[in-house]
Structure 1
Amino acid sequence: MPLNSHFDMMAVYIANGLYLYYTPALILLGSVGNLLSVYVFYNSKLRLQSTSQYLSALAISDTIFLLQLIPPWLSAMQITALFYKVGFCQIFVYLSYVTCCSSAWLVVAFTVERFVAVLYPLRRNAWCTVRRARHVIIGLSLAALVMNLPVLRFTVPFQNDCNLDRSYLEQAASFNVVDTIVSFTVPLSLIVLLNVWIITGVCRLESTRHQLMKVQRLALGDRSRASRLVGCPRSQQRVTRMLLIVSSVFVFLNLPAYALRILAYTYNLVSIFS
């Protein structure tokens, strides 16, 4: 047997094994973790913070994305062919597009809110409200639902597959470009830009804080009193740090996902035309 064929067989074997065990574990652990997060956000004082509204919506969106992975996994394991049936195929693919788009823009939304809270703290109470956050969440969700409606037409089930309708190749290619820009390129760019801006602002505020503390310490001769007089609230610092981590993780985890998505789409087009 040629060496390349041996490596190909090993790669397929490993990929199948990972898909068999990793997918259900990811769905179970991810869904449980997300639902627990939503429970904590809505059954504590955190529900009074606008940031919790965005994080709860993000957790729900991610849970829906994980749950829509179940039918294709069951079909791949030959347990049921539900994923290959008319209607179900389109709905599950549509949900994957909608949740990916809404999750990306939810991360942008709470990053913008944190940007306002850090760099414009006097406007935070007026702009960063729970009511406004809910309106933004509803608006983003509706926009994602409407924008991805073409997926319902471009997707069609085959005997053992749920793939692109060949009669809509040109339209689907155009939609894929628009979707990549709207659901990935623009949100990613905004998140990176805002995070850099927030980090710069935090560093500037900390520098100013330390300088004021030094002046007050010299004037008052009491370091503890100066620390109490000047400085950002610890809770706001923790929230800012947490959201910076969330948005940064989103960027790093979505880069390979979208790269693979573009490669897979290109491969499908090449195979169809060849």
Structure 2
Amino acid sequence: MTLTPESVTMDLELDNENFGYVNGNVSDGMLSFDLNSTSRRPTPRFRRIQTMDPMMATLLQFQFYGYPVILTMGTIGNVLAYVIFTRTRLKKVSSIQYLAALAITDTGFLWTSFLTPLYGYYKVPIIIQDGLCQFMTFLNYVFTFLSIWYLVALVVEKFIGVYWPMQKSTMCTPFRAKLVMSFMAVVAVACYSYVVYFFGPDKFYGILQCMPWKELRLHFENLSKIDTFVIAIIPYGVIVILTALIMIRGCEYYRISASVELFSHQNQNGRTGSQTSGHVTKIVFPVVILTVMSNLPVMILRTAMTIHGLKNPQIAKWNQVFYVVYIINFAIKFIVYIIFSGSFRRRTLEVLKKGYDQMKRACRQGVAQSGTDAHRINMEPMPSEKNKSGRLKKTDI
């Protein structure tokens, strides 16, 4: 199936009205068109936009072919990252607990977000099923909340380690990290439980969509404004401020250590701990920078459209462009870990080699077991034939 500007009917103003209603907290602009629908007679609003500029046509082509690739690569990378973070020595570092949780939330976000293009592009109507619409939208909101606030918790931990290093050993432990993540998960589930009651399959301009009920739409818009502060303003503000402070303190440290060797008399254990912390820091800051750069444009547009009520087709179009970058961010963190952390690369090779050896041993055991079973099958008829012939002889006598 090939997408062309003539084969797609899209109302950007309609997308603008639904901004933030689907895919959790941001809309990918695929709410109001049917790729194969040629018999539906468009309303006057649809007639106004019957064609599409080359930029949008290219974007739709990329979404059609690229979303399955992004979902597959992101799922494999996040699952492998979770295994490495939880099955190797890296799990002893508290910061790694947040990265492992991010791998789970990113995977959940990718799968729940994919349900809308799965219906819009490939005609698989999972998202418009009653019950699944409410539950999957609720999960998408929860994963969106946790994916950014887990990163905030990670930055706060690094901030504590830089400004209060003496308290890091007591405040920043894997157990405390798990407590913080569990508390955030409970808060997310409790705060977004209203989504189950506000959403449902409903027709909008003749197209069945998973969207807020008409009767509750005004209340949902008010809640969306609160959610915008919780998702798009507060966490990114905290991340930017704390990261800037950490970088300032880091520059001061390296400036002082260049002239005075502060740690020349550390013991071997202290040197090992410093190396481990350094390896984790090499992972954390690239992830933070990547998240801020890829997510901030979408969040700025969402904030402007939610607070000021901006309704502009050009803004809706650029939202779709930035949303692609936003989605990719949830799928490429594993690549960032590989590029910036030598320790993560070594652990990845160890896990892959261990998995390959286990598969090879399992295959050998399966071959040996099948050979033993074949030998038994060949040997079993022989005594049965003897017994059978013996019984026949006894009957003849």
Return the alpha-carbon distance in structure 2 between the equivalents of residues 139 and 108 of structure 1: 14
Q: 2:260 matched to which residue of 1?
A: 212
Within the alignment, does 1:200 sit opposite 2:236 as a pair? no
Out of 153, 171, 184, the position equivalent to 1:127 is: 171
Return the alpha-carbon distance in structure 1 between the equivalents of residues 55 and 240 of structure 2: 34
Q: 2:148 matched to which residue of 1?
A: 104
Out of 274, 296, 303, the position equivalent to 1:255 is: 296
Q: 2:280 matched to which residue of 1?
A: 239
Q: Secondary structure at the match of 1:149?
A: coil
Correspondence 1:137-156 to 2 at 5 A: 137-156=181-200
Within the alignment, does 1:186 sit opposite 2:234 as a pair? yes
Residue 71 of structure 1, CA deviation: 2.5
Q: 2:67 matched to which residue of 1?
A: 23
Residue 261 of structure 1, CA deviation: 4.2
Q: Is the 8 A contact 2:228 2:302 kept in 1?
A: no
Within the alignment, does 1:70 sit opposite 2:106 as a pair? no
Q: Structure 1, residues 232-253: CA drift from partner, whole Å, max 9, x if none?
A: 8343233223212211211111
Q: Secondary structure at the match of 2:130?
A: coil
Correspondence 1:219-230 to 2 at 5 A: 228-229=264-265
Q: Is the 8 A contact 2:232 2:300 kept in 1?
A: no
Q: 1:83 matched to which residue of 2?
A: 127
Which piece of structure 1 moves more, 90-99 or 28-37? 90-99
Residue 180 of structure 1, CA deviation: 0.8
Q: Is the 8 A contact 1:34 1:63 kept in 2?
A: yes
If each structure's helix is expressed as a fraction of its own residues, which one has the higher value? Answer: 1
Q: 1:167 matched to which residue of 2?
A: 215
CA 234–108 in structure 1, closer or farther in 2 if over 3 Å, else same: same
Return structure 1 stretches of 4+ with deviation > 4 angstroms.
Answer: 4-7, 260-268
Q: 1:222 matched to which residue of 2?
A: none
Amino acid at match of 1:27: L
Within the alignment, does 1:94 sit opposite 2:118 as a pair? no
Residue 9 of structure 1, CA deviation: 5.1
Which piece of structure 1 moves more, 160-169 or 6-15? 6-15
TM-score by length of 2: 0.59
Q: Is the 8 A contact 2:106 2:143 kept in 1?
A: yes
Q: 1:216 matched to which residue of 2?
A: none
Residue 105 of structure 1, CA deviation: 0.7
Q: Structure 1, residues 62-115: CA drift from partner, whole Å, max 9, x if none?
A: 000011133223211343212111111112221111111111110010101111
What runs of 5+ residues in structure 1 fail to find an aligned partner? 214-225
Q: Secondary structure at the match of 1:235?
A: helix
Q: Secondary structure at the match of 1:161?
A: strand
Return the alpha-carbon distance in structure 1 between the equivalents of residues 168 and 178 of structure 2: 16
Amino acid at match of 1:41: F
Bigger radius of gyration: 2
CA 229–190 in structure 1, closer or farther in 2 if over 3 Å, else same: same
Residue 212 of structure 1, CA deviation: 1.6
Amino acid at match of 1:178: I
CA 179–50 in structure 1, closer or farther in 2 if over 3 Å, else same: same
Which piece of structure 1 moves more, 167-176 or 66-75? 66-75
CA 67–181 in structure 1, closer or farther in 2 if over 3 Å, else same: same
Return the alpha-carbon distance in structure 1 between the equivalents of residues 195 and 304 of structure 2: 18
CA 11–158 in structure 1, closer or farther in 2 if over 3 Å, else same: farther
CA 99–134 in structure 1, closer or farther in 2 if over 3 Å, else same: same
Aligned length: 255
Counting aligned pairs with the same residue, the percent is 26
Q: 2:392 matched to which residue of 1?
A: none
Q: Secondary structure at the match of 2:52?
A: helix
Return the alpha-carbon distance in structure 2 between the equivalents of residues 107 and 53 of structure 1: 11
Residue 158 of structure 1, CA deviation: 2.2
Q: 2:335 matched to which residue of 1?
A: none
Q: Is the 8 A contact 1:104 1:184 kept in 2?
A: no
Residue 7 of structure 1, CA deviation: 6.6
Amino acid at match of 1:45: R
Return the alpha-carbon distance in structure 2 between the equivalents of residues 237 and 141 of structure 1: 28
CA 235–48 in structure 1, closer or farther in 2 if over 3 Å, else same: closer
Residue 12 of structure 1, CA deviation: 4.5
Q: Is the 8 A contact 2:145 2:231 kept in 1?
A: yes
Q: Is the 8 A contact 1:61 1:103 kept in 2?
A: yes
Return the alpha-carbon distance in structure 2 between the equivalents of residues 208 and 264 of structure 1: 46
Return the alpha-carbon distance in structure 2 between the equivalents of residues 75 and 211 of structure 1: 62
